[in-house]
A and B are shown apart, each in its own frame.
Chain A
Amino acid sequence: MDGLPLKVTHFNEYHRAHGNLVEYAGFEMPLWFKTIVTEHLAVRNSVGMFDVSHMGRIFIEGSDAERFLNHITANNVATVQPMQAQYTTICNEKGGIKDDVIFIRITADKFLLVPNASNREKDWTWVESHSSAFDVDVRHVSDEVAMIALQGPRAYETLRKASTGEIDKVGRFRATEITINGIRSLASRTGYTGEDGFEIFVYDSPVDRPHKAISVWNSLLESGREFNIEPCGLGARDTLRLEAGLCLYGNDINEETTPLEARLDWVVKLDKGPFIGRDYILKQKTEGVKRMRVGIKLLERGIPRPGHDLQANGLPVGFVTSGTFSPILQTGIAIGYVPPDYAKEGTRLKVKIRDKLADASIVNFPFYNSEKYGWRRKQ
């Protein structure tokens, strides 16, 4: 990507004025506004807002839309009602994960697919090339629709005050049409933080004429002020998703990883009929996986980083794919891969952090206590 000018989102002017910028997936994005930990804690304890317009938006519409999506994704699209969302994987022929995505079924025949930022163009090429055998119309609208994530226990109240519509009737993984400041948007009760919250799609707002998107951004900031809302950067987005045990594409999963290895079995519906990658995944399910994605919590001081070796009884058994300092646990946490024999909760391992071997234990996701944090928390 060296030498290419960075792409920008609708909110670039705000990021430049208030954020500390980095390049991510070819975009100029904020890494943090205040500090990563401040923003992280705002989302866990109250509400935070993220520009996620660097992700992709693809409309899939037509009488074959459900059949087509069922062909290219592993989960069962037929179980998804209009104004409902689903998390799923797009696999290649060898069962490797091309992307992990959500889509929202807007009507019986119309879907909004949301690829990861790093896979925006790859997914579009894949969707477009496979769509020709189906009666569907596909449209890449990433540059015409802005996307904001409002996350945290106060996200609901923040959005309710700022919008007209029926968000009070929208449960987890449901969606509804709303207006904010008179601007037509879609609010989906989904996210990438482990917390309750919404992903808001601002329709008809091109990147080069972003006033509608900016108006929505400002309205949400104003509405969230009484809850001390924080605009959040990619740094907090990463620590939040890691604490929740969610995969980062490119780190924790890639085209060489299958959904079974990544412990995304629950999105794979082998009995729904044929889909791309099914044969290989079925074979792997019968034979068993050789490695599995696990959560690793350090039992002493240190921060695991991608590439660090995992050792058991003095021998390497796997490696770290994502690691950070957890602001909630105040300790080092990681996602990595180990053989199934070492994947059981409570298994003791060592993480090789440079020249030091740090004690660690396999833990279940999420890393935090889900009675105290996350969308399932007891109020």
Chain B
Amino acid sequence: MKVGDYEILEGLYYTAEHEWLKAEPELVRIGITDYAQKNLHEIVFVDLPKPQMKANQTQSLGTVESVKAVSDIFSPVSGTVVSVNEKLLDSPELLNREPYDEGWIALLRPDRLAEELPKLMNSQQYAELLTKLAEKR
């Protein structure tokens, strides 16, 4: 589905800081949304978390940077980083091109997914947030 120019994928979970989370068996995959990448514009650098790093929900895992701006990647849930998308180091533009696919950022082993998932938005709720943000402009 789309809100304005911004693609939203159904079946994913979203944060108010524009990260997405995809629940996979045992693990969760995370990244930044189409809205986040379009607002950062041309992404030139990603500071990825280190594998084995532990993060609490909403804690910063790293940064995504354009020439002009720095944006934190906030962990959508608590857990341990299992692997990161190292392609982003040499090709940060993947975040602009395919934020939901090739531009994924990290795989996490969640600590308490059942407890924390309800704090995130589903695609419908995230679409409502983007609609509100568009109205404010």
Main secondary structure of the interface of B (DSSP, over half): strand
Point out the residues of chain A lying under 8 angstroms from B44, CB to CB: 37, 303, 325
For the side of the interface on A, what is the size category?
Answer: 10 to 19
Instruction: Known contacts A325-B65, A354-B63; decide if A305 and B41 are in contact (CB<8 Å).
Output: no
Q: In angstroms, how far is the closest chain B Cβ from the Cβ of A35?
A: 4
Tell me if A20 counts as interface (CB < 8 A to partner B). yes
Contact partner, B42, options A36, A302, A305, A324, Cβ 8 Å: A36
A37 touches B42 (CB 8 A): yes
Instruction: Identify the closest chain A residue to B42 (Cβ).
Output: A35
Task: State which residues 312-332 of A face B: CB under 8 Å.
Answer: 324-325, 332
Point out the residues of chain B lying under 8 angstroms from A191, CB to CB: none
A303 touches B65 (CB 8 A): yes
Contact partner, B68, options A31, A332, A354, A356, Cβ 8 Å: A31
Determine the distance from Cα of A354 to Cα of B42 in the docked complex, in whole angstroms: 22
Point out the residues of chain A lying under 8 angstroms from B47, CB to CB: 301-302, 356
A305 touches B67 (CB 8 A): no
Tell me if B16 counts as interface (CB < 8 A to partner A). no
Task: State which residues 4-54 of A face B: CB under 8 Å.
Answer: 20, 31-32, 35-37
Question: 19 A-B contacts, Cβ less than 8 Å apart?
Answer: A20-B41, A31-B68, A36-B68, A235-B68, A301-B45, A301-B47, A301-B89, A302-B45, A303-B44, A303-B45, A303-B65, A305-B70, A324-B67, A325-B45, A325-B65, A325-B67, A332-B45, A354-B63, A356-B47
17 more A-B residue pairs beyond the given contacts A37-B67, A303-B45, with a C-beta to C-beta distance below 8 A: A20-B41, A31-B68, A32-B41, A35-B42, A36-B41, A36-B42, A36-B67, A36-B68, A235-B67, A235-B68, A239-B67, A301-B47, A301-B89, A302-B47, A303-B44, A325-B45, A354-B63
